[in-house]
């Protein structure tokens, strides 16, 4: 921190800069005096960079002005107040309220981590600030301890530095491919270059709470490359000190942004911890946007990742695809599914990968989308597999056993219809199959049926995405017991098994269990890491198990296939053949 009189100069004929309070990636903050109103203020100055072209300099000024406009429209006790925006000598300045006190980062460095109740109160205040910003269409995009101020005397929490905030509808200022933000606190979907929303700020809050409780982010590593790898792929280990806040931290640090804990529920749980000092009642969480809790209503509490009757998914070619053509169901760059990587975002990520060469980060890791933690469920095409005629893939049952492969020839799926017995129309790009094993569901067009003993698979043209169904007698322990046994046996049945979790949930009002895990695949060279979504439930005296396994780079695609399969699944719809 500078000393009084370090840089006494007046800007815009009104604001006298005194001493420097701090410096960050987006500018220098000065303590100043508003000589017109006779009050102390903080003034943020965009530093001059002589290496910038005139166009780049204008972009920098635009960014600062955008920050000011974004924050000036927000009125909340936990958001910094912007008084004025001025330009002096073609350089923009933002005039803000002066907070007498240091940052959360300063507090942690000087006094150590916060206790649980302090952290809970901090979280409640920041959620209030973020919710107000999100209502106005403003994303913070750089939430970290250094950007949280703690007012001396009052303990007031103030969120500041919306320096890379993105107002809804504003064009991005990162076209150069530079990474904007603090990687330790950046959501994985932002790492992938995907379009992000309020849920990305909630991830950052989860990382910030971990830092407040332990002294550092759970993703801190020795290099930027290792940090990115930790955010995208590594097992997330909340601090032991989290205690009663573990449900909140885990909910906010869900890598799937559509499953991430919602702001209202996070606030409710944080308030309960702050008021009682004890773990909140009920640790399940609703996804963002949900307004209530449904203990057994559905295996998910979010909207589908597809539009049932409007989804435009490329149809499979009439004949077998050539080895050079994309697998059916896999869109080209021009046909990319909403939410998947555009050519531009892939180029940005490629530039980032190039910059991090040697840092231990792979392109696969960087391009991982937030839908799921990784990839797959045991199974690989045999060595004789070709694109036009994929072979069956050995896939374990929930009990962990792995069937052998068969050499049966490719067979088309059984008859299709416009809708399932459950009354859910197949989305565009899917067809409803009525399987001889006694069920119906919608599968992507171009997927082919492969029976393997007591299991039935529907495989993508390249064999890398596998939709499996098993019908069996009910287990005495129910679906939850089955999934927990599978999880316990995961390391012995699935090479590289990690990030496994079993969640008690529901399906159509019936008890169910959801199992997700990441593993390395039986053929790591051909497919790389994989991720599996697996739902098990009892219905009509039978136990049904539906799962989808796919490479991590196809996470959003796999999640959609899984959602559609579960939503449209209906038992007892049997045809001959």
Catalytically active residues are 142
Q: Tokens 């008859």 belong to which residue?
A: 415
User: What is the phi/psi pair of residue 557, to 5°?
Assistant: -60, -45
- Residues contacting residue 544 through CB under 8 Å, at least 6 positions apart: 439, 469, 470, 471, 536, 537, 538, 569, 571
Nearest to 500 by CA among 533, 453, 452: 533
The 3-class SS string of 332-373 reads: CHHHCCCCCCCHHHHHHHHHHHHHCCCCCCCHHHHCCCCCCC
**DSSP secondary structure of 163-212:** TT-EETTPPPS-TT----S-GGG--HHHHTT----HHHHHHHHHHHHHHH
- Residues contacting residue 284 through CB under 8 Å, at least 6 positions apart: 293, 295, 503, 504, 505
| Residue 470 labelled as part of a binding site | no
Radius of gyration over every alpha carbon of the chain, rounded to an integer in angstroms: 26
- Residues contacting residue 426 through CB under 8 Å, at least 6 positions apart: 308, 418, 419, 420, 432, 442, 564, 568
The span from the CA of 428 to the CA of 447, in Å, is 14
The span from the CA of 207 to the CA of 517, in Å, is 22
3-state secondary structure of 244: helix
Structure tokens of 298?
Answer: 């559905």
Largest separation between any pair of C-alpha atoms in the chain: 89
The span from the CA of 151 to the CA of 158, in Å, is 8
CB burial of residue 481 (10 Å; 0-12, 13-18, 19+): middle
3-state secondary structure of 577: coil
Structure tokens of 386?
Answer: 């070709």
The span from the CA of 139 to the CA of 137, in Å, is 7
**DSSP secondary structure of 498-527:** EEEEEEEEEETTEEEEEEEEEE--S-HHHH
Orientation of helix 263-276 relative to helix 116-135, angle to 10°: 150
Binding-site annotation, residues for ATP: 44
């Amino acid at each position: 921190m500078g000393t009084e009189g370090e840089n006494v100069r007046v800007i815009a004929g009104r604001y006298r800069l005194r001493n420097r309070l701090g410096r960050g990636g987006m500018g220098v903050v000065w303590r100043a005096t508003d000589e017109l109103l006779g009050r102390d203020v903080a003034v943020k100055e965009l530093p001059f960079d002589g290496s910038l072209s005139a166009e780049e300099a204008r972009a920098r000024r635009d960014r600062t002005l955008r920050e000011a406009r974004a924050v000036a429209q927000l009125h909340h006790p936990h958001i910094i107040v912007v008084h004025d925006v001025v330009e002096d000598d073609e350089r923009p300045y933002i005039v803000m309220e002066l907070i007498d006190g240091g940052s959360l980062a300063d507090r942690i460095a000087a006094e150590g981590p916060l206790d649980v109740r302090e952290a809970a109160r901090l979280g409640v205040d920041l959620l209030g600030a973020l919710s107000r910003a999100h209502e106005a269409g403003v994303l913070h995009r750089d939430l970290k301890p250094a950007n949280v101020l703690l007012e001396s005397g009052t303990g007031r929490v103030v969120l500041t530095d919306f320096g890379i905030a993105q107002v809804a509808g504003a064009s991005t200022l990162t076209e150069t491919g530079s990474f904007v933000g603090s990687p330790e606190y950046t959501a994985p979907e932002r790492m992938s270059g995907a379009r992000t929303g309020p849920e990305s700020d909630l991830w950052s809050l989860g990382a910030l709470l971990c830092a407040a409780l332990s002294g550092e982010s759970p993703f801190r590593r020795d290099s930027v490359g290792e940090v990115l790898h930790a955010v995208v792929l590594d097992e997330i280990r909340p601090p032991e000190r989290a205690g009663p806040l573990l449900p909140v931290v885990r909910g906010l640090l869900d890598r799937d942004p559509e499953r991430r804990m919602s702001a209202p529920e996070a606030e409710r749980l944080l308030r309960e911890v702050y008021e009682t000092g004890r773990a909140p009642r009920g640790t399940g969480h609703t996804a963002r946007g949900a307004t209530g809790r449904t203990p057994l209503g559905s295996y998910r509490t979010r909207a589908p990742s597809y539009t049932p009757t409007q989804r435009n998914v490329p149809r499979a070619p009439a004949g077998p695809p050539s080895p050079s053509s994309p697998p059916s169901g896999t869109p080209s760059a021009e046909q990319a599914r909403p939410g998947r990587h555009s050519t531009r975002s892939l180029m940005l990520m490629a530039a980032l990968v190039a910059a991090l060469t040697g840092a231990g980060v792979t392109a696969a890791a960087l391009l991982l989308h937030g839908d799921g933690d990784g990839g797959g469920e045991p199974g690989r095409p045999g060595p004789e597999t070709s694109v036009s005629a994929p072979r069956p893939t050995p896939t374990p049952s929930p009990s962990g056993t792995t069937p052998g492969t068969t050499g049966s020839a490719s067979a088309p799926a059984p008859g299709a219809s416009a809708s399932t017995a459950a009354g859910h129309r197949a989305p565009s790009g899917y067809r409803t199959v009525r399987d001889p094993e006694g069920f119906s569901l919608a599968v992507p067009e171009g997927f082919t049926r492969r029976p393997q003993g007591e299991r039935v698979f529907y495989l993508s043209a390249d064999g890398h995405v596998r939709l499996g169904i098993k019908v069996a007698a009910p287990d005495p322990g129910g679906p939850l017991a089955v999934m927990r046994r599978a999880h316990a046996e995961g390391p012995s049945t699935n090479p590289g098994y990690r990030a496994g979790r079993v969640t008690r949930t529901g399906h159509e009002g019936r008890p169910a269990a959801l199992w997700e895990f990441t593993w390395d695949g039986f053929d790591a060279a051909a497919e790389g890491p994989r991720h599996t979504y697996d739902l098990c439930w009892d219905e009509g005296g039978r136990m049904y198990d539906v799962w989808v396994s796919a490479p991590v780079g196809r996470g959003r695609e796999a999640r959609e296939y899984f959602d559609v399969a579960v939503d449209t699944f209906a038992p007892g719809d049997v045809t001959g053949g």
